[in-house]
């Protein structure tokens, strides 16, 4: 696989705006009508930190009946945008389940994930999840956090760019030379 190619999977509960984020990123369009996604694939290239990134983007279904299909897609993902909606506490509470599903599918606790709080442009009175709650959850997992809005085009491109950065960090760690001594000095053994 090319070091400049990245498979980004967008995951999270249904109706949180995963497709709206994706379509805003791909075609600069905001779709108002909700039509449940089974899966949609897109390709786009962007520049992240002055380096090209070729993205294969998979927009996944949030509904429970598609969980087996999601697991297959999670296995192949390099990085993930994990999305909940600010105006839906249940979607926020379900993030842990999606995170666990990703970790099981990848068989790795250190997966490049960016947590997105979507619909951040809604009035505070309509929001059920505060920015601090989202930040605290992301921090507890060790993930980056962004507030997004597909409608108002807030942090859409930055979300994908941050996911690419997280994937690059993971690849750098995986490609780093491994010390066989665990950082400790080898003891010499003398035979007499």
Judged against a pLDDT cut of 50, whether residue 1 lies above it is answered with: no
What pLDDT, on a 0 to 100 scale, did the predictor assign at position 51? Answer: 96
**Average pLDDT for residues 68-92, to the nearest whole number?**
90
What pLDDT, on a 0 to 100 scale, did the predictor assign at position 40? Answer: 85
The residue that leads in pLDDT, 177 or 101, is 101
Judged against a pLDDT cut of 60, whether residue 65 lies above it is answered with: no
What pLDDT, on a 0 to 100 scale, did the predictor assign at position 71? Answer: 75
- For residue 42, give the nearest of 21, 68, 15, 63 by alpha carbon: 21
Give the range among 1-10, 116-125, 148-157, 159-168 with minimum mean pLDDT. Answer: 1-10
Judged against a pLDDT cut of 90, whether residue 8 lies above it is answered with: yes
What domains does the chain contain, in order, with CATH numbers? Answer: 5-175 (3.40.50.300)
What pLDDT, on a 0 to 100 scale, did the predictor assign at position 42? Answer: 95
Judged against a pLDDT cut of 80, whether residue 180 lies above it is answered with: no
What pLDDT, on a 0 to 100 scale, did the predictor assign at position 62? Answer: 54
The residue that leads in pLDDT, 66 or 69, is 69
Residue 179 pLDDT grade (very low, low, confident, very high; cuts 50, 70, 90): low
Taking the C-alpha atoms of residue 99 and residue 108, their distance in angstroms, rounded to an integer, is 11
**Average pLDDT for residues 141-170, to the nearest whole number?**
98
Judged against a pLDDT cut of 90, whether residue 20 lies above it is answered with: yes
The pair of three-digit structure tokens given for residue 164, joined into one six-digit string: 């690419």
Taking the C-alpha atoms of residue 26 and residue 157, their distance in angstroms, rounded to an integer, is 9
Tell me the HSE value of 153 on the side-chain side, using a 13 A CA sphere. Answer: 9
Q: Which residues contact 19 (CB under 8 A, 6 or more apart)?
A: 31, 35, 37, 40, 59
What pLDDT, on a 0 to 100 scale, did the predictor assign at position 183? Answer: 47
Buried b (16+ CB within 10 A) or exposed e, 145-178: bbbbbbbeebbbeebbbbbbbbbbebbeeeeeee
**Average pLDDT for residues 1-30, to the nearest whole number?**
91
Q: How long is the chain?
A: 192
């Amino acid at each position: 696989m090319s070091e400049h190619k990245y498979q980004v999977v967008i995951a999270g509960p249904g109706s949180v705006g995963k497709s709206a984020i994706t379509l805003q990123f791909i075609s600069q369009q905001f779709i108002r009508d909700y039509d449940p996604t089974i899966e949609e694939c897109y390709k786009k290239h962007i520049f992240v930190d002055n380096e090209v990134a070729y993205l294969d983007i998979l927009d996944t279904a949030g509904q429970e009946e598609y969980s087996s299909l999601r697991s297959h897609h999670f296995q192949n993902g390099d990085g993930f945008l994990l999305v909940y909606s600010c105006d839906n506490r249940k979607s926020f509470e379900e993030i842990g389940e999606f995170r666990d599903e990703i970790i099981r599918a990848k068989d790795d606790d250190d997966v490049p994930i960016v947590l997105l709080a979507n619909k951040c442009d809604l009035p505070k009175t309509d929001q059920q999840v505060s920015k601090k709650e989202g930040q605290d959850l992301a921090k507890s997992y060790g993930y980056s956090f962004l507030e997004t809005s597909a409608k108002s085009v807030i942090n859409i491109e930055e979300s994908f760019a941050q996911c690419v950065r997280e994937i690059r960090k993971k690849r750098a760690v995986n490609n780093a030379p491994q010390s066989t001594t665990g950082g400790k000095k080898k003891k010499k053994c003398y035979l007499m």
